[in-house]
Structure 1
């Protein structure tokens, strides 16, 4: 009898996922493709923010899966009710409103070569 390798845990499988849709599929979370098409990176970034607050190292696999699913559902819900611009999960979007009085850098065309 050949020993088969143990099934990869959900964290390993999520770590190998290449697309947002794979996260939703692996965690069995329903989604609207129109929302994911617009906010995929924002949703995954927000999930990562939630994930950073978790302590999963000693949790059993079933609990890790359930908590990851809850994090993805919450991250997705954040973007169902508002836009990526409103949520501002990326630094460039945060910086855009950090100091609204600060003028944007201006480079005249005559300076370009």
Structure 2
């Protein structure tokens, strides 16, 4: 099952300001006219939006017409969605908590791991 964007033309007027006022991933997809699979969005919505934000942060839109900005932002949302439509959030690790606990990443010296059980044992003896 896929959700298809409205067949209405996309309103490009002041697109960045309008996007800042949105509150759900579905609204971003609707406003930018991007189709999506609800199953993918339900599993990876935060990851998709975070990745889109990373892509947006790399861009300079100053002086560009709204239509060009909207096309670029739409392409970024499509790219971010595709990142997670073809692989899991664990593959991309966009959030700090996932980056910090990457099993393929070498252990950082000076950061000791203390098992929770050992902390509880200390309190039980006192």
TM over 0.5: yes
Partner of 1:4: none
The aligned residue for residue 48 of structure 2 is: 43
User: Which position in structure 1 is the counterpart of 2:106?
Assistant: 99
SS, match of residue 40 in structure 2:
helix
1:99 to partner: Cα distance: 3.1
Contact 2:25 2:45 in 1 (8 A): yes
Q: Which residue of 1 aligns with 2:121?
A: 110
1:83-98 correspondence to structure 2 within 5 Å: 83-97=88-102, 98=105
Using the size of structure 2 for normalisation, the TM-score is 0.77
Q: What is the CA–CA distance in structure 1 between the aligned matches of 2:86 and 2:112, rounded to whole Å?
A: 31
Quote the RMSD (CA, aligned, Å): 2.1
Query: How many residue pairs end up in the alignment?
Result: 107
- The reply to whether residue 71 of structure 1 matches residue 76 of structure 2 is yes
Q: Which runs of 5+ in 1 are unaligned?
A: 1-6
Q: Deviations over 1:60-102 (max 9, x none)?
A: 0000000000000000000011000111000110110143587
Instruction: Establish whether residue 53 from structure 1 lines up as the match of residue 58 from structure 2.
Output: yes
